[in-house]
């Protein structure tokens, strides 16, 4: 049986956008600006759903890895933006736990994580999560966020993971709406 | 910024084992036997946690894709066995929804899925889930299964996904115990 590796590249346009940027994003607002630009570009380039994310060094604001939703373009239902950003950050740093070696990493996501991405967060070692749009905003355009446990923010807090919700929520929602208006695929399983 | 693709190969020993097998596994018991063999070999080869999974064509029993836990060997906290099997099955079939084109796929997992893998299941399009060991068996050797929603089996059923628990549970538990006894890494985030 021929076994290929799991292989999911980011679209070329991501590198092009990042090549024009500084790599340090000191404030949470600047980090979310980058992530929302990636989400909007993912809609524009039709490379996946209207979602983006990125992992930053919490203290310095250095961008460690970006991610965009690649479900439709990579034929992988697991290729959500948060999963891509976390996997690429771990691959880049060579560790499966982003709190190793005195690291402190922040995951910034254009929309609150679905049940899968939420489940992935404690395993990743990130210290904090920043969200733009809410679950209900993704549901409003037809996406299923899955069965998340009740009080999921409090549960992450109990694990020592800070959650900062509603950062530029309106701008994040407008990108979801643009995707719907453009006839983007609502790809629930 | 140099952006590498997400790239996670299965260990070479998986191909070697599968090259000695038929590709059809008509019964649930035969499917679980294969998955438990992969889990035991993952412990023996020290290529990851004591977990394996595979996606089968439900009707014919054809093996579509195997997966083993690769968290420690691939430096990726998301590289659980179920995620690998689902991603490879979708990549092989060229679709992000394993119920497309009249497909019916079954995910067989050596241990009940953690919160992340559970969240991934509805997005994958599988029709049924077969589990060996239970959450509590993984917890008994120190693994964190995460915050799964209450009544998760009933919730999958509501989505039309059948769940067959406790298939060869004792054999599956014994593999978890072997991993603990061998000093295997308990890699919670």
Q: What is the pLDDT of residues B23-76, one digit of tens each?
A: 899 999 999 999 999 999 999 999 999 999 999 999 999 999 999 999 999 999
With bands split at pLDDT 50, 70 and 90, how would you rate the model's confidence at A189? low
Percent of chain A with pLDDT over 90: 94
Which residue is closest to B10 within chain A, CA to CA?
A: A5
Residue A70 has pLDDT above 90, yes or no: yes
Q: What token pair was written down for A22?
A: 């500084």
With bands split at pLDDT 50, 70 and 90, how would you rate the model's confidence at B105? very high
Gap between the Cα atoms of A3 and A77, Å rounded = 19
Chain A residues near residue B65 by CB distance under 8 angstroms: 3
Give the CA distances from residue B34 to residues A112, B55, B132, in Å, rounded to whole numbers and listed in that order: 37, 11, 12
Give the CA distances from residue A174 to residues A35, A135, B44, B85, in Å, rounded to whole numbers and listed in that order: 14, 14, 51, 35
Report pLDDT for A130.
98
Q: What is the pLDDT of residues A17-41, one digit of tens each?
A: 999 888 899 999 999 999 999 999 9
Report pLDDT for B189.
66
Nearest residue to B83 via CA among B64, B98, B73, B69? B69
Q: Is A62 part of the contact surface with chain B (CB cutoff 8 Å)?
A: no
Give the CA distances from residue B49 to residues A43, A149, B120, in Å, rounded to whole numbers and listed in that order: 37, 25, 19
- Cβ contacts from A onto B, under 8 A: 192
Give the residue-averaged pLDDT of B174-183.
97
Looking at the complex, report in whole angstroms how far the Cα of residue A60 sits from the nearest Cα belonging to chain B: 17
Sequential DSSP letters for A50-105: S-EEEEEETTT-BEEEEEE--HHHHT-TT--HHHHHHHHHHHHHT-S-TTGGG--E
Report pLDDT for A20.
87
């Amino acid at each position: 049986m021929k076994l290929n590796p799991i292989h999911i590249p980011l679209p070329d346009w991501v590198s092009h956008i990042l090549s024009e940027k500084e790599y340090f994003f000191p404030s949470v607002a600047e980090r979310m600006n980058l992530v929302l630009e990636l989400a909007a570009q993912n809609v524009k380039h039709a490379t996946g759903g209207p979602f983006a994310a990125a992992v930053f060094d919490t203290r310095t604001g250095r961008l460690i890895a970006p991610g965009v939703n690649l479900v439709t373009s990579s034929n992988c239902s697991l290729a959500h933006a948060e999963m891509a950003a976390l996997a690429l950050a771990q691959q880049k740093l060579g560790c499966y736990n982003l709190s190793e070696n005195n690291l402190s990493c922040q995951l910034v996501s254009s929309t609150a994580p679905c049940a899968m991405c939420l489940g992935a967060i404690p395993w990743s070692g990130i210290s904090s999560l920043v969200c733009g749009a809410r679950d209900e905003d993704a549901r409003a355009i037809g996406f299923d966020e899955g069965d998340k446990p009740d009080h999921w923010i409090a549960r992450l807090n109990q694990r020592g993971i800070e959650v900062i919700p509603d950062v530029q929520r309106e701008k994040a929602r407008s990108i979801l709406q643009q995707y719907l208006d453009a006839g983007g695929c609502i790809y629930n399983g």
